[in-house]
Amino acid sequence: MKKYKPYVKKYWYCFILGPFFMVLEACGEFILPYINANIINIGAANRDIPYIIKNGLLMLLIAGGMLLTGVLGAFFAIRGSARLSAGVRLDTFAKIQTFSFSNIDDFSTGSLITRITNDVTQIQNFAQTLLRGMFRSPVMIIGALVMSFYLNPSLAAVILIVVPLLALAIAGIILTASPRYGQMQKALDRLNNGIGETVTNERVIKSFVREEYEKKKFAEVNEKLVEKSTAALKMMLLIQPVSALVMNVTTLAVVWIAGGQIMAGSMELGTLSSFIIYLTQVLTALNFLANIVLQGTRAAASDRRISEVLNTEADINDKGARFADRGVERGSIELRNVSFRYFKKNKEKVLDSVSLTIEAGELVGIIGSTGSGKTTLVSMIPRLYDADEGEVLVDGMNVKDMSLRGLREGVAMVLQKNTLFSGTIAENLRWGDENAGDEEIREAAAIAMADGFIQSFPEGYETELGQGGVNLSGGQKQRICIARALLKRPKILILDDSTSAVDTATDASIRRAFREKLPKMTKIIIAQRINSVMDADKIIVLDEGRVAGCGSHGELMESCEAYREIYHSQKDGQEV
């Protein structure tokens, strides 16, 4: 509950004025039938027109007041609950920003989206219902009961019997329904996961003509959601008919008893009509309370799910770092016996006792089959993941002892999957350095061999990119991403298969430019093509998470079987 406190405090007037106006409106609800009874019993019975007009006007005035207080109450309830949810949404979003990749993997992206949207909305709906009804409904029930006792105690006894019975029935329904709501929420998670994955990978799906398969997969989770939500909602639907039944039976009983009393002359007609209104009010208020409890159980499930996010400490942080003010200065790297698994339960290690050293300014190639752990290995350097065993050192310091921000500012990683944003090319490049001047931007683009093609566009650096850079070729996108990383002026640059769509000659020119223009920067290039790493100062060969060899091309050709295999598989039959 702690998470809501700041917002309740900040918008305290909504949380006081909302219920206050709603209670005020409720007072009108039980005064009106009383005046109504008087008009019939006194005014109409005695044909006292001035009495009827006077009381009629009074009813009108009260109805007007109820409209005003009702609107004000609803306004403050809506404002308070919307503010509360906006605050919680912002906090949850900020928390997710601190998460490491493995935190996000643990939750799944779809689940995080559901929590920040659907779950927060549940809290908002509940807060709104609560503000509108938490005092109003009990006041209505008590007020209507008092008034009906005042009008006719023996009839009021009927209500006293019925109310607990109905309350019990509603409680039973809610108890059965609430676990089903939990399952419904889980089904919604799965649906959102599916949507997230499909929409972000639409291109791949299209290129593999997997639309039908995806549709089928989606239909299945969609069906599951229908099944789970029907199971939950059909229980809730029972509340309405059960209340109606109780209402009708009670009305019948009241009319039966009242009929006898009216015939005997001990009760007036106006009293009966007002009595039925009070009865309706009590049952309606009871329904509203049931709704509060129901929304409360849903909101409690959502609250737990939001708390899980808010209470998760980002597993990668620099609390307790010994040199919390230190970032990367030179760019040397050392891995000492590093082992890592994505799923700690798995026996197989993704990295198995990896040890290696990279000097500052070196150009290092990493090669190995898909799944051999290349990406995982380099992810250890900017601490996208932390090693399970062993140490990762940058500039001789354990990365866990450095400032996380300083470390990540010093390491630029161009990932396999490149992401560009809508906006101009220049704007995208300035992600690397928002203050970069035109000249610096061009320099970086020239090293990444991107300047030429950018200049050939009619709008040059001001060319607008579609979302994700859709109007560029794969190779062009890759080069812009490299230029963007260079503008960060990192001490360590990691290219994770990021020239795969660039032709061999341009690829070689990029590496030549790296050597000539960026001699001090440590450069790590992961590549599939042996050509891309052959001329590196040092090549690391990975095989099933282990270092199978490390050295120059010549050394590895002599000493490393795995390297020779890769070499021959790519070069045989080609001119070397």
Q: Which stretch binds ligand ADP (CB under 6 A): 148-156, 251-259, 270-278, 374-382?
A: 374-382
User: Alpha helix (H) ranges present in 450-572?
Assistant: 451-456, 474-487, 504-517, 553-559, 561-571
Q: Which of 97, 207, 311, 370 binds ligand ADP (CB under 6 A)?
A: 370
CB of 368 to ligand ADP, least distance (A): 6
Q: Between 68 and 107, how does the x/- string for binding to ligand ADP read (CB under 6 A)?
A: -------------------------------------x--
CB of 378 to ligand ADP, least distance (A): 8
CA–CA separation, 43 vs 48, rounded Å? 5
Q: Which of 259, 371, 452, 519 binds ligand ADP (CB under 6 A)?
A: 371
Q: Within 505-534, which residues bind ligand ADP (CB under 6 A)?
A: none
State yes or no: residue 388 binds ligand ADP (CB under 6 A).
no
Nearer CB in complex with ligand ADP: 321/540: 540
State yes or no: residue 342 binds ligand ADP (CB under 6 A).
yes
Secondary structure class of 347 (helix, strand, coil):
coil
CB of 379 to ligand ADP, least distance (A): 7
CB of 526 to ligand ADP, least distance (A): 7
Tokens for 71?
A: 């609107």
**Half-sphere exposure (CA, 13 Å, Cβ side) for 518?**
29
361 — alpha (psi -120 to 50), left (phi > 0) or beta? left
State yes or no: residue 350 binds ligand ADP (CB under 6 A).
yes
Indicate the burial class of 325 (C-beta count within 10 angstroms; 0-12, 13-18, 19 or more): exposed
Which whole-number Å values give the CA distances from 304 to 3, 100, 122, 353, 449, in the listed order?
12, 21, 12, 39, 51
State yes or no: residue 549 binds ligand ADP (CB under 6 A).
no
State yes or no: residue 315 binds ligand ADP (CB under 6 A).
no
CA–CA separation, 362 vs 341, rounded Å? 28
Which whole-number Å values give the CA distances from 510 to 203, 359, 482, 515, 576, in the listed order?
28, 21, 10, 9, 20
What is the per-residue burial (b if ≥16 Cβ within 10 Å, else e) of 176-196? ebbebbbbbbbbbbbbbbbeb
Nearer CB in complex with ligand ADP: 409/544: 544
Nearer CB in complex with ligand ADP: 14/556: 556
Q: Which stretch binds ligand ADP (CB under 6 A): 63-71, 307-315, 363-371, 453-461?
A: 363-371
Count of residues of this chain found to bind ligand ADP when the rule CB under 6 A is applied: 11
CA–CA separation, 124 vs 18, rounded Å? 14
CA–CA separation, 497 vs 383, rounded Å? 19
Q: Within 101-160, which residues bind ligand ADP (CB under 6 A)?
A: 105
- Which three-class secondary structure string do you get for 309-330? HHCCCCCCCCCCCCECCCCCCC
Nearer CB in complex with ligand ADP: 419/455: 419
Angle, helices 438-447 vs 474-487, to 10°: value is 120
Q: Which stretch binds ligand ADP (CB under 6 A): 6-14, 125-133, 331-339, 366-374?
A: 366-374
Nearer CB in complex with ligand ADP: 96/254: 96
Find out whether 414 and 481 touch, Cβ atoms under 8 Å.
yes
Q: Which of 41, 376, 428, 476 binds ligand ADP (CB under 6 A)?
A: 376
Q: Which stretch binds ligand ADP (CB under 6 A): 17-25, 249-257, 370-378, 476-484?
A: 370-378
CB of 196 to ligand ADP, least distance (A): 15
Nearer CB in complex with ligand ADP: 178/498: 498
State yes or no: residue 208 binds ligand ADP (CB under 6 A).
no
Q: Which stretch binds ligand ADP (CB under 6 A): 248-256, 289-297, 331-339, 371-379?
A: 371-379
Q: Which stretch binds ligand ADP (CB under 6 A): 207-215, 372-380, 399-407, 431-439?
A: 372-380
Q: What type of residue sits at position 364?
A: V
Judged by the rule CB under 6 A, the positions of this chain that interact with ligand ADP are: 105, 342, 350, 368, 370-376
